[in-house]
Amino acid sequence: MNKWTLLLLLFYGQAFCQERRALPGRVILADNTAVPNVFVINKATRTETKTDVAGSFSIPARAGDRLAVYSADTEVREFAISDASFAKVPYVLSVDF
């Protein structure tokens, strides 16, 4: 096996080995008011959850995924997930009415 083949295998192996993990988050308005009962969907997996009365949620995600937040009362917003997103607990998503 030549070194280019080995490098490609290592690169693709690492890309596919990144597993999703729970991303705890909170949906708020600009004034820090919690937004209950909005949908949070991971567009990569189509996994969906709904915020609780405190605006909190947890959804499986990994770096590179995109989350969409929507409800009948809010504008649809999308958020890109990075490794830094997991360092912010909870990961705060701000939406507008």
The CATH number of the structural domain formed by 20-94 is 2.60.40.1120
pTM of the predicted model as reported, rounded to 2 decimal places: 0.80
DSSP string over 35-87: --S-EEEETTTTEEEE--TTSEEEEEE-TT-EEEEE-SSS--EEEE--GGGGT
Residue-wise pLDDT tens digits, 27-79: 999 999 999 999 999 999 999 999 999 999 999 999 999 999 999 988 899 99
**Chain centroid, CA 91 distance in Å:** 8
Interatomic CA distance for residues 97 and 24, integer angstroms: 23
| Contact call for residues 59 and 67 (beta carbons, < 8 A) | yes
What is residue 10's predicted lDDT score, i.e. its pLDDT? 58
Sequence spans of domains, the chain:
20-94
